[in-house]
Amino acid sequence: MWKRGFHSSTYCQVLRKPQFDVKCVIRDLALHQSSIKRRQIVGGPELLTRLQCISSQYEEANQLDKTIAQLQSKRKALEQSLKKDRSLARELASELKHSKSEFQELNSRVSTKRDEIQHVLQSLPNLIHKSVPDESPEVFRWIRPRASYDVDASLDHVEIMLNKGMADFQTASNVTGNSWYYLLGKGAQLEYALVSFALNRASKAGFQFCIPPSIARNEIIDACGFRPRDMNGEQQIYHLQNTDQGLTATAEIALAGYGANKVMDLSHGPIQLVGTSRSYRAEAGARGKDTRGLYRVHEFTKVELFCWSKPEDSERILEKMRSLQIEIVDSLGLSAKVLNMPANDLGASASQKYDIEAWMPGRGEFGEITSTSNCFDYQSRRMNTKYKNTDTGKLEYVHTLNGTAMAVPRVILAVVENGYNPVNDTIVIPECLREFMGGQAYI
């Protein structure tokens, strides 16, 4: 399916230095500046200032390279003269020494300049797709829309699940801390059913099963676009002390890493994986209702879709992944809206992103349950993941896409709150899940 690239476990660093096309960045400077401004990223003004200097830095580096080349030619000529006539040794010694010293100084300067350029290029977020709105999400379509959306505190999933012995938040708080939980009995069974259902649908859509690790090297995490702090200044990643590793916030990280330093065989179409893993988020939201129950937690099970494709196929694949997510949410009977997310909500790697938000009556608002993004070649450049272009015979960077097939806790929340009938104290199990719950129709 793919060819294995360079890899050695004897080195701490496994990723090669990313190769950026500085000429393209200079050519599209206005687009990159717009991407930084529209995303409203932390450190944006400073990055804009550094980006503004990249053209002059590139010219300076090239000029230094030319000066070094001229100096090298001069040194070779002096060395040739010395070989032909050793009597010139005293006369040429000082000139050779000065030439060597000048070469070292110039080489150090150009190396520093190239490193500065590389650092700016590595810090740039992806360019933004032309369809992305600025600051407010746009509704792409509705799934099972309702005539009205009323808040109903009696449908709060926390109280329902506690009364039915499906979850225990207090014990988890005592054992681990806030924003952790135990799923018990039918609650745990519901997680199993949701994971099985999502895997089943993803498999039918052509995704291959994968169980990825939940720990990755920091360089892999960074290459995916997960910075130490996100756009809201919240810590995302749990970094493991005294190691170069962190807990993955999503299986996307380990799945993307599977393609690191490899040449993917895309001659038979895109490579699509669906991975199930535990995911870890250091941030757990602001104080208040987001931290109550299952909506925003530190650890959860997530079924993730990941795809490597040829550049010309990635927009079509994004539509396919979005359609699969809509199919899954619709099958669960949830009322939801599909949103084309604005520039200021995009992570560094995403060029375009769609979220699905389901109605959660106990919370009294819509809440995100899936997301899918096209990252173009942002991740593949940093991961050194390529494919062979059969038309040109050259190795080129793949496009990567990721999407949520099932974020378990939030979907449990939505299923419980939307399926609960306070009259007879039952929760309707969506029909698509019943085969994974022993045929049971109600809790």
Binding residues for L-serine: 250, 281, 304, 402
* Separation CA 274–CA 403 (nearest Å): 9
* Separation CA 95–CA 104 (nearest Å): 14
- Three-state SS annotation for 12-71: CCCCCCCCCCHHHHHHCHHHHHHHHHHHCCCCHHHHHHHHHCHHHHHHHHHHHHHHHHHH
Tokens linked to 413: 């929340």
Residues 6+ away with beta carbon under 8 Å from 121: 18, 20, 22, 25, 54
Q: Give the strand order in the sheet containing 208-210.
A: 138-143, 336-340, 352-360, 365-374, 399-407, 299-309, 271-280, 208-210
Which amino acid would we find at residue 361?
A: P
* Separation CA 308–CA 192 (nearest Å): 28
Rg (CA), the chain: 27
Write out the binding residues. 250, 281-283, 297-300, 304, 368-371, 402
Write out the binding residues for ATP. 281-283, 297-300, 368-371
